[in-house]
Amino acid sequence: MSNYKVINSKGKEIFTDVTLHPGEILLDELEAREIKKSDFAAQLGMKPGHFSDLLYGRRHVSAATAIKLEKLLGISAEYWMRVQVYHDLFVERNKEREAA
Residue 37 within any structural domain of the chain: yes
Q: Find the domain containing 33 and state its range.
A: 22-99
Whole-number Å distance between alpha carbons of 24 and 93: 20
Judged by DSSP in three states, 94 sits in helix
Q: How many domains does the chain have?
A: 1
Cα dist. 51→12, 14, 24, 81, 89 in Å?
37, 32, 12, 17, 22
Tens of pLDDT, residues 33-91 = 999 999 999 999 999 999 999 999 999 999 999 999 999 999 999 999 999 999 999 99
Residue 51 within any structural domain of the chain: yes
Judged by DSSP in three states, 79 sits in helix
25 and 18 in contact (C-beta within 8 Å)?
no
Is the pLDDT at 2 greater than 80? The verdict is no
Residue 90 within any structural domain of the chain: yes
26 and 49 in contact (C-beta within 8 Å)?
no
Residue 91 within any structural domain of the chain: yes
Whole-number Å distance between alpha carbons of 71 and 40: 12
